[in-house]
Amino acid sequence: MSFAGKAAFVAGAGGGMGLNIANDLIAEGAQVCLADIKPQPTGIASGPGGHRYHQGDLSDEVEVGKAIAQTVATFGRLDYLVNTTGVLWFDRDKSIVDMEIADWDRVMAINLRSFVLTARAAVPEMKKAGGGAMVHISSIDALVGDDKPQDAYGAAKAAIIRLSKSIAIQFAADGIRSNTILPGPVMSPMQEHWEGKPDVQAQVAAHVPLGRIGTTQDQANACLFLLSDKASFITGTELIVDGGVTAHP
C-alpha cells in the first residue's frame, strides 16, 4: 500500500494509536501532519515520507482551520484524514445521572466536535485533490450499554458512526470515502491504568476470543487498508477490530 505523493492529516497523533498510524503512513511515503493538543512526541518516523507537527486544541474551529490550511500550504494537497482524538475519563465520565454536565460537554467537544471540525475543513481540500478518504476511530463501546458506564464517551463514539455514514453519502460523488474503525480492548496510553498490572491485563485478555489485548498496530493496519486504494469500493461502513469480542455471545 503505497501512499507516495499523498498528504494526510492525523488528528490525535501525539501518542498511541494516532502516532502509530501517522508513522505507518510516513513509512509508506505519505506527507503527514500530526496534530494534537500535546507537545510533539519523540519517535516520529524519519521517512521516506515527510511530516510536520501542529500543536493545538482540535475542538477549536479556528485552530483546526489553521492546522488544515498549514498542512495544504506545506504539502500542496490533502488526500487523507484520520480522526483518533479522544479521552476516556474513568473518574469523571460516568452515568448521566452522576456526572457533571461540564464534563459531558468537554468529552463531547474532544471526542465528537473535533471530528466534525476536521472533516468540515478537510472536505473542500479533498475535493480540490480529486477525492480522498477518511477514517474515524469509534469504539465497540458505541454498540452496547454498560452497568459501569462512561456515558459521554459511548454517546460520542456512537455519533461518530452516524457522522461518518453521512459524510460518505454526501461526498461519494466527489470521490471522498469515509469509514469508521471500532477498536476493542487496546493497550495504549488511553488505557494506562492497565500498565504494570499483569493480572488485570490477563483478565481483560481472557474476555477476548483471540486471547490477547489488541495493539495500536492492529488498529493502524486496519486504518491504512481503509485509506488505501485496496479499499476503493468501501465507504460508509464500520470495521470492528476487537479480537472477536462483539461476536462472542
pLDDT of residue 190: 65
| β-strands 132-137, 31-36 pairing | unpaired
- Residue 184 grid cell: 476493542
pLDDT of residue 195: 67
pLDDT of residue 193: 60
pLDDT of residue 226: 98
Domains in the chain with CATH codes? 7-186+215-247 (3.40.50.720)
Rounded CA-CA distance 64/57 in Å is: 8
Tell me whether residue 153 is one of the annotated catalytic residues: yes
Q: How big is the chain, counted in residues?
A: 249
Fill in the amino acid letter for 82.
V
pLDDT of residue 200: 78
- State the 10-residue block means of pLDDT for the chain, 249 residues long: 94 96 98 98 95 98 98 98 95 95 98 98 98 98 90 97 98 98 87 69 89 95 98 98 93
Q: Name which of 115, 175, 120 is nearest 142 in CA terms.
A: 115
Q: Name which of 249, 231, 243 is nearest 132 in CA terms.
A: 231
Catalytic residue among 83, 153, 167, 179: 153
Handedness of CA 138, 139, 142, 147 (dihedral sign): negative
- Residue 133 grid cell: 478518504
- Residue 138 grid cell: 469509534
Rounded CA-CA distance 228/243 in Å is: 22
pLDDT of residue 103: 97
